[in-house]
Amino acid sequence: MNPDRNLGTLLDGTLHDTLAVSLPHFRPELCLAATIVLLLLCRMLPVLRLVDSGFLALGGVLFSLFFAWNDVLTLGGGAWASSLGDLLAGRQELFGGLLAFDSLTAYIRLLLAGFLVLFILFTKVSGIPDREDGADFYTLVLGATLGMCLMASANHLLMVFMAVEMASVPSYALAGLLKGRKASSEAALKYAVYGAGAAGVMLYGLSLLAGVLGTCHMPTMARALASLDSMWMPGGTGMALAIGGLMVAAGLAFKLSAVPFHFWCPDVFAGAAAEVGAFLSVASKAAAIALLLRVAFGLGTTGSGPDHAVQMAALGETRHFIVGVVALLAALTCTLGNLAAYGQTNMKRLLAYSTIAHAGYLMMGVAAAVALAGRDAGASRSAVAAVCFYLGTYVFMNLAAFAIVALLRNSLRSEEIASYAGLIRTNPGIVVATGVVLVSLIGLPPLAGFISKFLVFSSVMESVSLDAERPLMLVLLVVGGINTVISLFYYLRVLKVMTFDPPPADRTADAFPLVSIPGALVTALVVPVVSLGIFWSGLYAFARFAGAFAS
Amino acid sequence: MQSSAANLLVLVPLLPLVGAVCTVLLGRRLGPRAHLPAVAGIGAAAVVALLLLLGTANQVGGGHADPTHPVEPVEMISTLWQWATVGDSRSGDLPAAEVGVPLAPGSAVTGGAFSIPIALRLDPLTATLLTIITGVGLLVAIYSIGYMHDDPGYPRFFALVAMFVFSMSMLVAASNFLLVYVFWEAVGACSYLLIGFWYTKPEAARAAKKAFLVNRVGDFGLALATFLLWMTYGTLNFHDTHLADGTIVEGILGEFRLADEVGYVGGAVGTAICLLMLLAACGKSAQMPLHVWLPDAMEGPTPASALIHAATMVTAGIYLITRSAPLFVGCPGALTMVSIVGATTALVAALIATVQNDLKRVLAYSTISQLGYMFVALGTGTMLGFTAAIFHLVTHAFFKALLFLGAGSVMHAMGGVIDMRRFGGLRHVMPITAATFLVGACALAGVAPFAGFFSKDEILAALHAKAHPEAHGSDHAEAGSAGERPRDLAGGVGLVASVPVRPFRPGSMITRVSLSDAHDVSHEKVGLDALDHPSTWRLLFWMSLLTAGLTAFYTFRAVFMTFTGPVRVPKEAGHHAHESPSVMTMPLLVLAVLSAFSGVVLFATNALSGFLSATPSLTAPAVVRTAVPHVFHWEIAIQGTLAAAIGIAVAAIGHLGRRSDSPQLERYLGPLGTLFANKFYFDQIYAALIVKPLEALSLVTAFFDRAIVDGTVDAIGQVPLAWGSAIRRMQSGLVQRYALAGVVGVLAIVLALAWQLRP
């Protein structure tokens, strides 16, 4: 045994793994990182300050989008006809198992990059940030997105923690973007304090899990879990695992703004600029759901192997635990989010609660996917696809909602629902656009939101009919249905104010017309909300592609 | 060629749709020129439709083929996109395919998963109807420029007309029963909006509501028929779809099933499908007992009545049955029902029309009656019957549009008065309208050589052949030998056998019917099928002949009352009652030329029936077997002309040269006249049997809804509000309390999980 030779092999192996395997699949993230560096450089050199940071960021994101798209194509074998087997063969672990590269990674990264393009265009139209703040703002946004990409591909609990922090810390600063506004600073501080607490709890949970199972690499953890006799074994091991799992769940729930860790969300959304709200409610939520899928499937299932069936059966108890936690949180989150949205007078606050409620619906899909994993792999993949489809449509619905709030704020100088009264008389186009977005958020046909909700609920129904956690899923189905009805009232109340109420006497300025640059942006965001309700096959094919990760 | 034709085909519905959207968007800015997008869109679509018609005729082979010589079916499918695809091959799990339930309408690309192909088709039937719809649509749109002038809803009218032309084109071009259903509803919606165009008038609003509700009954039938088709055939496509794995899903009207002698389901299921389709057709085409909406629909603007409630939309039922011909020929009972419904409607509507004094209502009942005529022809289930029905559809579209537009011209000049007793002698006031109206009347009455004469003659001939099978025996023998000739159809039967084809859905209630037996008169018949007997057909023939006489009578009664006698003008018309502007009379002249000559040209060249016989639906062996040589039926023409002559003579005795407010014929009819004048009391019977009980029920349910349902909802509505305020109080803004809530929440979850996961 020659220790030098061993070290050499190790180094060679690591180098090869990093340069030849990992980095090529890491190009979208690398683009984001390079753009951040460029943005910071431009801050330092007076000449380069002339460069508009927004367009610089847009350029970088477009590169990232290109590579993300490329990854989707490569993984899909260049055509959409590739089989499941090919897709699974394309699955890889990067950086020595820290990250996983598979169809979910590719899909979420594509979603995030695509969202960023729309988001940067939106901020350029809405005018926040101003030129002075631009570099800071986009650096933070890109940095947070980098963290979110890592969340979507985390394969190791340490990476989970790292990614969550990378996504959260820039968000705290973003929440305080409106310098000099008390509400904004207060929101940022609350967010940071709450986030720090959640991070601490999560880290504690991680260390408990790592201590019991001896590793943080999720596939290895799953195998270790499968080899345990029962979670309720004597000696406190099971209790440690359960407490550790719950603490990790608390950290994830914070990112998801799930009840009872949602309190930061309304305050932050109401205090921060609507632009920040749009970013947090869409990108952060998509990444958090992807991370929840990663952790739930990482710990609750094992990849294919000779003893796959045995291992999956042995993990039944783990999945039972995960489904229990996720379903409970989902039901609570959905219900509380919808109930609290009642009687809100501020549109951003209302949308904050709406975001919370939608996180609940998404988590129902995740719960169904995990519950189905042990029963029918195909149905489980469909459930993941439903969640991914939901995320895809949610990008447009929620970004459009926040864009309308931000652009109306620019012209009406108010974000109160009451200030929208009677807009239909002067701006019918905007009211129609808002109506489309809100009705889609309710989930009524023929809009995108309906298809999303339908797919998620039918996945839950599927687990009821396949007897995968039947009682729990039945409860979820009922809760989801009731909540949809409840949500009808507060979304439609906004429309009622916009159409039936007389315009306030002190309104000085008109809202922006539909035929204008802001109007074009709103139209560009609303058109997909309508067309995805009709032509949903395309996005659904992508979502099914992403769903293939669960096997 | 195929792809360019496909592109052209898409243009036919697309251009009017663009026109409609532009009118909606730009209507207010265009002001008095708001008709431009709609007229341009429909006009361009008409040109494209004409090109497609010529192209298709070219493909059929000159269009001079005799229907007795089997022709290759001509069809072209253009699939625009697959809609609502669920499940796909990449995931490897195909829930539908695995459990063997009937597969989707279509499923072309996705390997057996559910999907709905948005597919258009072009075949002789579609090409003919597209030309009629866009052509008459264009003339009506041009006419409306003058007629709707100064109406406050000017842009809305043109947007609706263009929207209607779009929907109707899609209806006849769709290659899928689901799409047919969608656009069946869409044309109904356009019709509803146009009937209620002057929605501030209570009668118009009521008429629109009535049309909508009565049509629902028929639409329900179509929905049920669609469900049954799906359950029976496992697809809703007309055409065959080729799957990626090489199998073929036999479309309901695809070439494989058409070539298959036992390809269609008969018996109870087949008859049920056909009767449900007949119900749908009765609703849309205003046949008894669902005809009551059409006369009231005259509350809409006259051009809309001409286009929708005379020329095109109401013929959707005829289209549906012709398209589904192979389904019907397997169910002789259902076919005979079609004829019985048609003949009864034709006779009853004609009787009612004889005593109407409202010019538009005379035309409305005449439309119902003529549509009944087409149903009679369809019900014969022979090649001659189907082609005669479509022939009559075409000529009727021309002359009935002409008559309606003429009536509109009169109404326009008379200041909105349409009661024939209040004006007369108008040929001196508006000569062009009078002359063109006379041409239309001659066509409707079946006076030789106008268009209606030839199409009516063919219908009567088709009936006569059914009523006297022995007289036409020689035809049958000849046709039989023609039918037995092996048809060279895409490689013939061999190909059918070599391709794995999805079978029927396994089920106990389905019996395949051998179509070769369907026309065997000696075959033992039971149930509804027993109706298919020569004596039935003899009765139907005489009913139709009587209707022909009545038609001539009421038509010329209207002509004489309106245009002859001393000049009388109601005071609403003002002092300057005059001929309509040329933008209105030009379409009248064009339609008059078509009404005068289309019949003789199409009959003499045999262009239409030969052309139509290449429609896939009509190339089913059971239909081809019934084809007879193209001849002029002298004896029937004489009978028809005699009936018309008697009708015109009676009308002349009663009304020619007299004041139009002189005593009416109905006085001599006694109680029968009262019966006709009250439209056989259909409205009253429906009111007593259906409307009143429903109103009583609605009072109860309204009380229940307001007091109990609303009360409960209001009470429930308070619950989230209360909860919401409680939750809002938790959102205190103090981060310490948030943390506390988090800890309490975790503890609660631990307790809940401990309870749920208890070993």
pLDDT tens digits along B276-307 = 999 999 989 889 888 888 888 888 888 888 88
> How far is the CA of B720 from the CAs of A332, A483, A495, B29, B316, in angstroms?
14, 10, 19, 47, 50
CB within 8 Å of A132: residues ≥ 6 apart: none
Whether A382 sits inside 8 A of B81 (CB atoms) is no
CB contact residues (below 8 A), chain A span 377-436, against chain B = 377-379, 381-382, 385
Give the rounded percent of residues in chain B with a pLDDT score beyond 90: 15
Average pLDDT, chain A: 87
Q: What are phi and psi of B278, to 5 degrees?
A: -65, -40
Rounded percentage of chain A residues whose pLDDT exceeds 70: 95
What pLDDT is stored for residue B662 in this prediction? 65
Which residue in the set A250, A336, A382 is minimally distant from B746, CB to CB?
A: A250
CA distance B217 to B291: 11
Under a CB-based contact definition with an 8 Å cutoff, are residues A257 and A334 in contact? no
The Cα B573–Cα B416 span in angstroms is 8
Indicate yes or no: CB of A324 within 8 angstroms of CB of B753: yes
Position A362 scores a pLDDT of 95
Mean pLDDT along residues A138-163:
93
Percent of chain B exceeding pLDDT 70 equals 83
**Distance to chain B for A508, nearest Cα, Å:** 27
Helix runs in A176-284, H state only:
182-213, 218-227, 237-256, 264-271, 274-279
Burial B297-327, CB ≥16 within 10 A → b, else e = bbbbbbbbbbbbbbbbbbbbbbbbbbbbbbb
Tokens of B11: 């243009």
Cβ <8 Å between B727 and A544: no
Q: A352 — contact with chain B (CB < 8 Å)?
A: no
Q: Which of B110, B265, B284 has its CA nearest to residue B180? A: B284
Which residue matches tokens 């683009």? A31
Please judge whether A548 and B724 are an interchain contact, meaning their C-beta atoms are less than 8 angstroms apart: no
Nearest CA in chain A to B716: A486
Predicted ipTM? 0.74
Contact A155, A98 (CB under 8 A): yes
Q: What tokens does A174 get?
A: 């973003």
The number of helix segments (H) and strand segments (E) in chain B equals 31, 6
Torsion of CA B498, B502, B506, B509, to 10 degrees: -90
Asked if A537's CB is within 8 angstroms of B83's CB, the reply is yes
Within an 8 Å CB–CB cutoff, is residue A548 touching chain B?
A: yes
Specify whether the CB–CB gap between B432 and B497 falls below 8 A. no
Q: Which of A436, A421, A142 is nearest to A279 (CA)?
A: A142
How close A136 gets to chain B, by Cα (Å)?
A: 27
Average pLDDT over residues B563-583: 79
CA A489 – CA B714 distance, rounded (Å): 12
Residues in A 32-61 with any Cβ partner in B closer than 8 A = none
When comparing pLDDT for A495 and B466, which is higher?
A495
- Tell me if A197 and B739 make a contact (CB, 8 A cut-off): yes
Residue B234 has pLDDT above 80, yes or no: no
Chain B residues touching chain A at CB-CB below 8 Å: 81-93, 95, 115, 717, 720-721, 723-725, 727-728, 730-731, 733, 735, 738-739, 741-742, 744-746, 748-750, 752-753, 756-757, 759
pLDDT at A387 over 90: yes
**3-state SS, one letter per residue, for A217-235:** EHHHHHHHHHHCCCCCCCC
Substitution target in B116, B735, B740 with the highest count of A β-carbons within 10 Å is B735
Around Cβ B634, how many Cβ atoms within 10 Å? 9
Does the predicted model carry a pTM greater than 0.80? no
Q: What angle do CA B582, B588, B593 make, to 5 degrees?
A: 125
Question: Structure tokens of B562?
Answer: 């309106």
Yes or no: say if A537 and B82 are a contact pair by the CB < 8 Å rule: yes
Residue B14, C-beta contacts closer than 8 angstroms, at least 6 positions apart = B45, B166
Q: Report helix, strand and coil shares of chain B as percent, to nearest 5.
A: 70, 5, 25
- Cβ partners under 8 Å of residue B471, min gap 6: B464, B465
CB contact under 8 A, B738 and A190: yes
Question: Does the beta-carbon distance from A84 to B91 stay under 8 Å?
Answer: yes
Confirm if A238 and A230 have CB atoms less than 8 A apart: yes
Query: In the 8-state DSSP scheme, what is residue A21?
Result: I
List chain B residues with CB under 8 Å of A82.
90
A260·B753 Cβ contact <8 A: no
Say what the pLDDT of residue A383 is: 92
Here the tokens at position B25 are: 């968007």
Q: What is the mean pLDDT of residues B252-270?
A: 78
- Quick one: tokens of B611? 């052309």
B326: preceding bond cis by omega (within 30 degrees): no
Chain A window 303-332: which residues touch B at a Cβ cutoff of 8 Å? 320-321, 324-325, 328-329
Nearest residue, CB atoms, A544 vs list B90, B735, B745: B90
Question: Does A512 reach chain B within 8 Å, measured CB to CB?
Answer: no
pLDDT tens sequence across B645-679? 888 888 888 777 777 666 666 667 777 777 777 77
* Range B16-21, long-range pairs (CB < 8 A, 24+ positions): B16/B41, B16/B42, B16/B45, B16/B134, B16/B137, B16/B162, B16/B163, B16/B165, B16/B166, B16/B169, B17/B41, B17/B162, B17/B163, B17/B166, B19/B158, B19/B162, B20/B159, B20/B160, B20/B162, B20/B163, B20/B166
**For chain B, which residues make up each domain, given as ranges?**
2-657+670-677, 683-756
More confident site: B524 or A338: A338
- B118 burial via Cβ count (<10 Å: 0-12, 13-18, 19+): buried
Instruction: Specify the 3-state DSSP secondary structure of B423.
Output: coil
According to the model, what pLDDT value does residue B90 have? 36
Under the banding of pLDDT at 50, 70 and 90, the label for residue B472 is low
Q: Return the minimum-mean-pLDDT range out of B318-322, B611-615, B670-674.
A: B670-674
Name, in order, each residue with C-beta under 8 angstroms of B76's C-beta and a sequence gap of 6 or more.
B2, B5, B6, B9, B121, B122, B123
| B302's tokens | 């006259």
Which range, B52-66, B234-248, B579-593, is most confident? Answer: B579-593
pLDDT tens track for B54-67: 888 888 775 445 55
Q: Which of residues 240-299 of A touch B (CB under 8 A)?
A: 242-243, 246, 250, 259-261, 263-264, 266-267
Instruction: Return d(Cα A93, Cα B521) in angstroms, integer.
Output: 76
Query: How many Cβ pairs within 8 Å bridge chains A and B?
Result: 120
A261 pLDDT more than 90: no
Higher pLDDT, B393 or B727: B393
DSSP-H helix ranges across B572-678:
582-605, 607-612, 621-624, 634-655, 666-669, 671-677
- B162 Cβ neighbours under 8 A, 6+ residues apart: B16, B17, B19, B20, B23, B37, B38, B41, B42, B141
pLDDT in tens, A390-432: 999 999 999 999 999 999 998 888 888 988 988 888 888 889 9
Tokens of A30: 């690398």
Helix (H, G, I), strand (E, B) or coil at A99: strand
Q: For a pLDDT cut of 90, what percent of chain A falls above it?
A: 45
Q: For chain A, how many helices (H) and strands (E)?
A: 23, 2
Q: Chain A residue closest to B721 (CA)? A: A342
- pLDDT score for B489: 34
pLDDT at position B424 is 81
Average pLDDT for residues A264-293, to the nearest whole number?
Answer: 92
CA dist A101 → A111, A155, A268, A548, B330 (Å): 15, 9, 33, 12, 59
H/E stretch holding A259 reads none
Contact A149, A29 (CB under 8 A): yes
* Top-confidence range, B54-63, B246-255, B434-443, B603-612: B434-443
Who contacts B444 (Cβ-Cβ below 8 Å, separation ≥6)? Answer: B366, B370, B399, B400, B403, B452, B551, B555
Q: Do B82 and A194 touch (CB under 8 A)?
A: no
What confidence tens digit (pLDDT) does each residue in A346-361 have?
A: 999 999 999 999 999 9
Contacts of range A69-74, beta carbons closer than 8 Å, 24 or more positions apart: A69/A110, A70/A27, A71/A25, A71/A27, A71/A28, A71/A101, A71/A105, A71/A106, A71/A109, A71/A110, A72/A103, A72/A106, A72/A107, A72/A110, A72/A542, A72/A545
**Spatial separation of the C-alpha atoms in residues B493 and A174, rounded to whole Å:** 72
Mean pLDDT, residues A198-216: 90
Which candidate from A264, A320, A541 shows the least CB-CB separation from B738?
Answer: A264
Q: Is the pLDDT of residue B514 over 70?
A: no
If you compute the radius of gyration of chain B from its CA atoms, what whole number of angstroms results? Answer: 29
Strand partners, B117: B82
